[in-house]
Amino acid sequence: MKISVIGTGYVGLVSGVGFAKHGHEVTCVDIDEDIVQSINEAIPPIYEEGLEELLEKVIDSGRLKATTDLKEAVKKTDITFICVGTPSEEDGGIDTSAIESAAEDVSQALNEKTGYHVVVVKSTVTPGTTDRLVKPILESGGKKVGDDFGLGMNPEFLREGVALNDFLDPDRIVIGGWDEKSRKTIEDVYESFEAPKLVTDIRTAEMIKYTSNALLATKISFANEMSRICEEVGIDVYDVMDGVGLDHRIKRDFLNAGPGFGGSCFPKDVKAIKNLAQKMGIETKLLEAILSINDEQPIHTVELLEEELGNLKGKKVTVLGLTFKGGTDDIRETRALPIVKSLLEKGADVTGYDPKGMENFAELIDGINYAESIEEALIDAEACIIQNDWEEFSELEGEDFEVMKDKIVLDGRRVLDEGALDEDIKYLSIGKGQLD
Ligand code: UDX
Q: For every residue of 178-236, which 3-state class applies, written as one string?
A: CCHHHHHHHHHHCCCCCCCEEEECHHHHHHHHHHHHHHHHHHHHHHHHHHHHHHHHCCE
Dist. CA 13–CA 317, nearest whole Å: 39
CB distance 262 to ligand 1 below 6 Å: yes
Give the pLDDT confidence score for residue 436 in this predicted structure.
74
Query: From ligand 1's centre to the CA of 351, what distance in Å?
Result: 25
What DSSP element (H or E) covers 173? strand 173-177
pLDDT in tens, 78-134: 999 999 999 999 999 999 999 999 999 999 999 998 899 999 999 999 999 999 999
The one catalytic residue among 28, 83, 265, 384: 265
CA nearest ligand 1 atom 1, residue = 159
Label residue 435 by pLDDT band (50, 70, 90): confident
Left, alpha or beta for 414 (phi > 0: left; psi -120 to 50: alpha)?
left
Going by C-alpha positions, the residue among 138, 128, 117, 125 that lies closest to residue 84 is 125
Q: What share of the chain in percent tops pLDDT 90?
A: 96
Q: Which atom of ligand 1 is nearest to the CA of 124?
A: 7
Q: Which atom of ligand 1 is nearest to the CA of 389?
A: 25
Q: What value does the mean pLDDT take over residues 423-436?
A: 91
Kindly list the distances between the CA atom of residue 78 and the CA atoms of 119, 120, 366, in Å, as whole numbers in the listed order.
Answer: 9, 11, 49
Label residue 420 by pLDDT band (50, 70, 90): confident
CA nearest ligand 1 atom 9, residue = 265
Query: From ligand 1's centre to the CA of 156, what distance in Å?
Result: 14
Give the pLDDT confidence score for residue 124 in this predicted structure.
98
CB distance 258 to ligand 1 below 6 Å: yes
Q: What value does the mean pLDDT take over residues 364-381?
A: 98
214-428 matches 2-200 in CATH topology:
yes
DSSP state letters, 261-281: --SSSHHHHHHHHHHHHHHTT
Other CB atoms closer than 10 Å to residue 107's CB: what's the count? 21
Residue 282 has pLDDT above 90, yes or no: yes
Kindly list the distances between the CA atom of residue 357 and the CA atoms of 49, 117, 328, in Å, as whole numbers in the listed order.
Answer: 17, 41, 7
Query: From ligand 1's centre to the CA of 211, what distance in Å?
Result: 14
Is 3.40.350.10 the CATH number for 214-428?
Answer: no
Q: Which amino acid belongs to residue 74?
A: V
Give the pLDDT confidence score for residue 237 in this predicted structure.
98
Q: What value does the mean pLDDT take over residues 332-360?
A: 97
Segments making up each domain of the chain, as ranges: 2-200, 214-428
Give the pLDDT confidence score for residue 114 in this predicted structure.
87
265 catalytic per annotation? yes
Residue 215 has pLDDT above 90, yes or no: yes
Give the pLDDT confidence score for residue 317 in this predicted structure.
98
Dist. CA 213–CA 266, nearest whole Å: 6
Give the pLDDT confidence score for residue 95 in this predicted structure.
97
Q: Which residues contact 79 (CB under 8 A, 6 or more apart)?
A: 1, 2, 3, 4, 117, 118, 119, 120, 185, 186, 189
DSSP, collapsed to helix, strand or coil, labels residue 4 as strand
Give the pLDDT confidence score for residue 400 in this predicted structure.
96
Residue 434 has pLDDT above 90, yes or no: no
DSSP, collapsed to helix, strand or coil, labels residue 361 as helix
Dist. CA 48–CA 244, nearest whole Å: 33
Note whether 24 and 2 are within 8 A (CB): yes
Dist. CA 296–CA 258, nearest whole Å: 11
Q: What share of the chain in percent tops pLDDT 70?
A: 100
Query: From ligand 1's centre to the CA of 91, what distance in Å?
Result: 23
DSSP state letters, 56-100: HHHHHTTSEEEES-HHHHHHT-SEEEE----PBPTTS-B--HHHH
Q: What value does the mean pLDDT take over residues 136-156?
A: 96
What's the number of CA atoms in the CB half-sphere (13 Å) around residue 39?
29
Note whether 253 and 159 are within 8 A (CB): no
pLDDT in tens, 67-90: 999 999 999 999 999 999 999 999
Q: Selecting from 3.40.50.720, 2.40.30.110, 3.30.9.10, 3.40.50.12780, what CATH number does the domain 2-200 have? A: 3.40.50.720
CB distance 390 to ligand 1 below 6 Å: no
Pairing of strands 2-6, 79-82: parallel
Dist. CA 342–CA 364, nearest whole Å: 14
Give strand pairing partners of 28.
5, 66
CB distance 159 to ligand 1 below 6 Å: yes
Q: What value does the mean pLDDT take over residues 164-192?
A: 98
CB distance 255 to ligand 1 below 6 Å: yes
Query: From ligand 1's centre to the CA of 371, what distance in Å?
Result: 26
CA nearest ligand 1 atom 15, residue = 159
CA nearest ligand 1 atom 21, residue = 261
CB distance 427 to ligand 1 below 6 Å: no
Give the pLDDT confidence score for residue 340 in this predicted structure.
98
CB distance 263 to ligand 1 below 6 Å: yes
CA nearest ligand 1 atom 20, residue = 261
CB distance 254 to ligand 1 below 6 Å: yes
pLDDT in tens, 218-266: 999 999 999 999 999 999 999 999 999 999 999 999 999 999 999 999 9
